[in-house]
Amino acid sequence: MGARIRGWGTALPTEIVTNADLEKTLDTSDAWILARTGIRERRIGSSTAELAIAAGRSALAHAGVEADSVDLTILCTTTPDDSVPATSAHVHDALGLGGGAFDLNAACAGFVYGLVTADALLSSGTASRMLLIGAETLSRITDWTDRNTAVLFGDGAGALVLDRTADEGQLLASDLGLDGSARHVLRAPIGGAIQMDGREVFRRAVRAMVDSATRTLQRAKVRPDQVALVVPHQANIRIIQAACDRLGIDRSRAATVLDRTGNTSSASIPLALVDAIHKDRLETGDLVLLTGFGAGMTWGSALIRWHAEGTDQ
Ligand code: UT7
């Protein structure tokens, strides 16, 4: 038993905030933001549930399946709309999903944590069809007067429909980890805004992604040069490039959307994956390496063997 990706979808708010817009209110510049992060603009607005619903609806339509055929939903988010109930309850109701649903918070590694969890639940027979969503409204917990963080974050969502399959499935290997002693490095207290030691996050991020990705490849007995596409968490183009260089994977093999989205935490990996699919960067049989890190500090990697339309034709 395993899991197969059957459909995908994304959602972004309509309001675009460019670096030039931020120059008007912050002591910053388009040149600084672009050179230090690779970000040109980000999308702002909506609630986490609204974005998750839109991405989930799109993924269900792409998969060609009914919402009530889903028997378990995971909403990966670090920006729930309320403390209680879980935002997935709103999504479940709005889409008419079947079975249960829960939120998962592993910050920017959240989507990889969600994918590994979904794979385990499908492989064990607990669920036969799952909806996995990463959705965030980081703009709601961003201090728009703090140039250290305001230039980095954005809102968005991405979703996958996953089916149980009789064969080994697409997830070949994974690695999840956490160093909770570093939880002070990046945090947002309840009701407050994101506080971050950017340089420390940067340093830890590269190391965590490289180590986690390396363990994952070793578990699958795959060499870095066999990886067709890396889908990294979209925090900073310099982090992505440094990780690729240390892994020995050509930078051109990294999927990136952060120039248009900024850092969307749990949504960034599915947004980058779907963007790569739309650009015809993936063929059946390709090895795809997802890798992320985030507050906690969490990290997670997953190696997937791509299957073109996802379905069992
Ligand atoms: O999902 C995880 C979320 N967080 C991250 O991924 C953050 C990881 N860290 C980073 O991406 C980078 O550390 C930043 C983009 C946050 C900062 O880049 P950096 O190259 O590490 O810059 P820095 O913090 O070393 O700051 C360099 C200079 C400083 O000025 P001085 O001390 O050299 O005079 C900062 O005050 O740049 C200044 N600076 C800015 N200048 C213009 C910091 N933020 C800005 C800004 N605009 N927005």
Distance CA 233, CA 272 (A): 8
- Position 313 confidence tier, pLDDT thresholds 50, 70, 90: very low
The whole-chain average pLDDT of the chain stands at 97
Identified catalytic residue from 90, 92, 233, 307 = 233
In DSSP notation, 135-174 reads EEEGGGG--TT-HHHHTTB-EEEEEEEEEEESS--SEEEE
> In testing the pocket of ligand 1, which one of 202, 207, 234, 298 has its CB within 8 Å of the most ligand atoms?
202
Q: Is 76 a catalytic residue?
A: no
Q: Is 233 a catalytic residue?
A: yes
Give which of 282, 188, 189, 184 is closest to 231, Cα–Cα. Answer: 282
- Position 308 confidence tier, pLDDT thresholds 50, 70, 90: confident
Q: Domain coordinates of the chain in residue numbers?
A: 2-165, 171-311
pLDDT in tens, 159-198: 999 999 999 899 999 999 999 999 999 999 999 999 999 9
pLDDT exceeds 70 at position 311: no
The answer to whether 14 and 42 have CB atoms below 8 angstroms apart is no
Alpha helices in the chain (DSSP H): 19-23, 30-37, 48-63, 87-95, 110-123, 147-150, 198-220, 237-247, 258-261, 268-278
* Distance between Cα 148 and ligand 1 center (Å): 6
The answer to whether 10 and 228 have CB atoms below 8 angstroms apart is no
Ligand 1, atom 18, residue with closest C-alpha:
36
CATH code, 2-165: 3.40.47.10
CATH code, 171-311: 3.40.47.10
pLDDT in tens, 127-153: 999 999 999 999 999 999 999 999 999
The answer to whether 288 and 295 have CB atoms below 8 angstroms apart is no
pLDDT at 309: 64
Same fold, 2-165 and 171-311: yes
pLDDT exceeds 60 at position 69: yes
pTM of the complete model: 0.97
Percentage of the chain exceeding pLDDT 70: 98
32 C-beta closer than 6 A to ligand 1: yes
Percentage of the chain exceeding pLDDT 90: 98
Cα angle value 53/277/231 (rounded, 5°):
85
- The mean per-residue pLDDT over the stretch 285-312 comes to 90
- Position 29 confidence tier, pLDDT thresholds 50, 70, 90: very high
pLDDT at 26: 97
- The mean per-residue pLDDT over the stretch 251-267 comes to 98
- Position 312 confidence tier, pLDDT thresholds 50, 70, 90: very low
* Distance between Cα 176 and ligand 1 center (Å): 27
